[in-house]
């Protein structure tokens, strides 16, 4: 049934022995319509959307390319600045005047580590002698609410314990 519809017909070409004459008006009308064909609004919208999509894709590709170039330029400038800083610190190491950002970052990290160590040591649970001396002062004050000057020896012991702790801390920072 459908086989006859899918067969290709053999082309037959007929040659006319007499030339065909077309009027110039018909020829100009046919050429005018072929040069400026009217496109339906739906087809025009589809074509416009396709053009917009291509323009957006190209703009996105160009932006990505610009980002890559910008990153490469920033990396090159950073390397150049580091080289300059190294050159400047090479001249100024004797004086100690100029430090580069890498050295400063190292110093900042060292200070952070010292602060962390201080915070870890600041807990009184790690220093029972200070905690015990503080409790002794508190119990003495409770026992002598009207004559707190009688607790001078406990206060002196507490001060000594704190002084030892401070000295230990200063030594640990060196």
For the question of whether the overall pTM of this predicted structure is more than 0.75, the answer is: no
Helix residue ranges per DSSP H, the chain: 3-6, 24-35, 41-92, 101-121, 128-143, 152-173
CB 94 within 8 A of CB 87: no
pLDDT of residue 27: 80
State whether the Cα torsion 160-166-168-174 is positive or negative.
negative
User: Residue 109's domain spans which residues?
Assistant: 40-114
d(CA 103, CA 70): 27
**Distances 161 to 94, 134, 136, 154, 168 between C-alpha atoms, Å:** 42, 9, 12, 11, 11
- What is the tens place of the pLDDT at every residue in 19-48? 788 888 888 877 766 566 677 889 889 999
Whether 30 is in a domain gets the answer no
DSSP structural state of residue 151? G
In a domain, 29, yes or no: no
Tell whether 27 is covered by a domain: no
Q: Is residue 56 helix, strand or coil?
A: helix
Task: Evaluate whether 169 touches 162 at the Cβ level (below 8 Å).
Answer: no
For residue 21, is it within any domain? no
The residue-averaged pLDDT of 125-150 equals 87
> CA angle 62-63-68, nearest 5°?
95
Same domain, 101 and 69: yes
Task: Give a yes or no: residue 149 inside a domain.
Answer: yes
For residue 136, tell me if it sits in a domain: yes
Contact 129, 157 (CB under 8 A): no
On the question of pLDDT at 74 being above 90, the answer is yes
Per-residue pLDDT tens digits for 57-66 = 999 999 999 9
- Rounded to an integer, what is the distance from CA 35 to the centroid of its chain? 55
Q: Are residues 64 and 108 in the same domain?
A: yes
103 and 134 inside one domain: no
Higher per-residue pLDDT: 83 or 95: 83
Same domain (yes/no): 46, 101? yes
Residues 161 and 128 in one domain: yes
- Calpha distance 167→67 (Å, rounded): 55
């Amino acid at each position: 049934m459908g086989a006859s519809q899918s067969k290709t017909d053999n082309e037959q070409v007929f040659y006319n022995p007499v030339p065909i004459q077309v009027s110039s008006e018909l020829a100009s009308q046919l050429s005018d319509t072929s040069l400026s064909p009217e496109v339906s609004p739906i087809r025009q919208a589809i074509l416009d959307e396709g053009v917009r999509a291509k323009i957006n894709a190209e703009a996105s590709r160009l932006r990505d390319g610009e980002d890559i170039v910008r990153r490469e330029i920033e990396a090159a400038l950073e390397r150049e600045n580091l080289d300059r800083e190294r050159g400047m610190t090479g001249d100024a190491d004797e004086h100690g005047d100029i430090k580069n950002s890498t050295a400063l970052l190292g110093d900042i990290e060292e200070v952070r580590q010292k602060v962390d160590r201080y915070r870890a040591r600041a807990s009184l649970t790690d220093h029972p002698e200070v905690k015990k001396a503080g409790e002794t002062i508190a119990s003495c004050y409770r026992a002598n609410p009207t004559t707190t000057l009688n607790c001078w020896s406990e206060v002196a012991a507490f001060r000594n314990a704190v002084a030892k702790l401070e000295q230990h801390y200063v030594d640990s920072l060196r």
